């Protein structure tokens, strides 16, 4: 046989040579690390699209060594199709950016930010909020009662400061958001959980607005909100085009609650958390979307004077429902509360009243001593037989009987109980200037303004 020289098999024309593959490997690694299979497909799609556009524009083979324009067109179309597939894979595997849950008061979508719970540093509002997953409706036309009633964890935080409550909260990393569903896990919006006949949204509007006009006993038609988050004064008027100006915010967002322990609560406890007054505030609609699902590590109210009450409500809600905090969240809250160490925790009206031991009844007063009975006269010895003496001119009188004991005077009626002063929270808004109250610790408070803050708040007397 004749020796026939072997010819080396050349690479297919459309396959890039190994130097190009080496150059592309970092791009592919980045895609895998950031998005898994979906990220890898996305990077391959980007390379195909870029090579196809380059080959069509210049007529050259490009990185993929495309032999002609028809192949370049195929590479471009394939890259676009692969990009769509990559997007579906990213969404299915959970690498797509999460959109936040929104508790919006009107049936119009409001923007929100996408801030991770693990981002450290000073929180600030997001300038470009993302679209919302769930839009809370306005107050329902018909009140829906939650027949199961409220339920909380058996935790007593009464007469404690927010710092003391923060110290007992567990510290853990946030759990995945997987499986979260607003309606499925936390119930429909604005249920009547406390059984007072009014939906939760109107309950909060009646509490937080001043100069309120009602329709019936529940529906708030108008009022004025002294916005807690930015300090804006907003004239509220119920209507499809105006209700969104005042929204009801979950201080601990339901997404954050789901990721910090609410998955382990009962359905009744989750519904209570979504409607608990300590976790709800009427706020400015322009700020509600900026907060989104962020915790204290990622977002705080621009109104710095309100931050103590804001984080105290978060701490109180998490303690009431056995939720935990992240490390960065606890550090941010502690830094704020160090500036107001007397800030008291908020007690949920849904929580059972703490058991108070009644004092033992006082023993009855001892009976007054009775006078001693008179002693009988000693017997006289028999007289000696003598001659009878003449009868005395005047017989001796019998001994006088002791006077009867005087009855004890009736006890004076008890003094009427002193009026119980109103219990208030320091820094909370109030409506009547000069009104007085006390904190849970007995500190005297008065409703007044200061030179720095013209709004009426409960301040130290």
Domain spans of the chain, in order of start: 18-93, 162-337, 421-461
Q: Report yes or no on whether pTM surpasses 0.85.
A: no
CB atoms within 10 A of CB 72: 24
C-alpha 245 chain-centroid distance: 21
Element (H, E) at 32: helix 18-58
Do residues 41 and 89 make contact, with C-beta atoms less than 8 angstroms apart?
Answer: yes
CA–CA gap between residue 311 and residue 303 (Å, rounded) = 13
Torsion region of 187: left, alpha or beta (phi above 0 gives left; psi -120 to 50 gives alpha): left
CB atoms within 10 A of CB 286: 17
Low-confidence ranges of the chain (pLDDT < 50): 1-2, 7, 9, 11, 94-122, 124-133
CA–CA gap between residue 147 and residue 422 (Å, rounded) = 31
CA–CA gap between residue 434 and residue 432 (Å, rounded) = 6
- By the 10 Å C-beta count (0-12 exposed, 13-18 middle, 19+ buried), 304 is classed as exposed
**pLDDT at 35 (0 to 100):** 60
Taking only the tens place, the pLDDT of each residue in 28-54 is 677 666 666 767 777 777 877 777 777
CA–CA gap between residue 133 and residue 102 (Å, rounded) = 7
**pLDDT at 415 (0 to 100):** 72
Which sign does the torsion angle of CA 15, 17, 20, 24 carry? positive
What's the mean per-residue pLDDT of the chain?
Answer: 78
**pLDDT at 428 (0 to 100):** 81
Indicate the Cα dihedral angle 54, 58, 59, 64, nearest 10°.
Answer: -30
**pLDDT at 19 (0 to 100):** 62
């Amino acid at each position: 046989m004749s020796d026939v020289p072997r010819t080396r098999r050349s690479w297919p024309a459309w396959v890039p040579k190994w130097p190009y593959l080496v150059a592309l490997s970092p791009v592919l690694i980045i895609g895998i690390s950031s998005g898994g299979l979906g990220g890898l497909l996305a990077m391959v799609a980007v390379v195909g699209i870029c090579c196809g556009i380059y080959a069509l524009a210049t007529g050259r083979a490009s990185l993929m060594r495309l032999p002609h324009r028809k192949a370049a067109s195929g590479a471009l179309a394939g890259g676009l199709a692969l990009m769509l597939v990559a997007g579906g894979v990213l969404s299915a595997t959970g690498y797509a950016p999460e959109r936040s849950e929104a508790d919006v008061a009107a049936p119009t979508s409001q923007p929100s930010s996408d801030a991770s719970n693990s981002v450290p540093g000073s929180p600030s509002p997001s300038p470009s909020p993302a679209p919302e997953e769930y839009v809370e409706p306005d107050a329902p036309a018909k009140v829906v009662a939650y027949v199961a009633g409220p339920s909380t964890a058996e935790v007593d935080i009464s007469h404690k400061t927010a710092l003391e409550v923060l110290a007992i909260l567990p510290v853990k990393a946030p759990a995945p958001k997987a499986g979260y569903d607003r309606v499925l896990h936390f119930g429909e919006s604005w249920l009547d959980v406390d059984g007072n006949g009014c939906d939760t949204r109107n309950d909060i509007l009646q509490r937080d607005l001043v100069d309120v006009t009602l329709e019936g006993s529940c529906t708030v038609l108008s009022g004025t909100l002294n916005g807690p988050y930015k300090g804006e004064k907003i004239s509220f008027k119920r209507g499809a085009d105006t209700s969104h100006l005042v929204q009801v915010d979950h201080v601990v967002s339901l997404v954050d609650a789901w990721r910090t322990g609410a998955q382990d609560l009962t359905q009744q406890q989750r519904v209570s958390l979504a409607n608990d007054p300590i976790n709800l505030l009427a706020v400015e609609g322009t700020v509600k979307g900026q907060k989104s699902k962020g915790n204290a590590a990622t977002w705080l109210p621009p109104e710095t004077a309100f931050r103590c009450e804001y984080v105290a409500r978060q701490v109180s809600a998490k303690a009431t429902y056995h939720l935990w905090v992240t490390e960065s969240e606890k550090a941010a809250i502690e830094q704020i509360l160090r500036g107001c160490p007397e800030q008291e925790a908020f007690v949920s009206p849904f929580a059972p009243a703490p058991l108070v031991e009644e004092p033992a009844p006082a023993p009855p007063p001892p009976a007054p001593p009775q006078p001693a009975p008179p002693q009988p006269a000693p017997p006289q010895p028999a007289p000696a037989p003598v001659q009878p003496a003449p009868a005395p001119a005047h017989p001796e009188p019998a001994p006088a009987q002791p006077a009867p004991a005087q009855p004890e005077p009736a006890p004076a009626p008890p003094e009427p109980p002193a009026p119980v002063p109103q219990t208030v929270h320091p820094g909370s808004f109030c409506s009547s200037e000069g009104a007085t109250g006390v904190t849970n610790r007995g500190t005297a408070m008065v409703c007044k303004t200061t030179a720095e803050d013209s709004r009426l708040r409960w301040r130290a007397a």
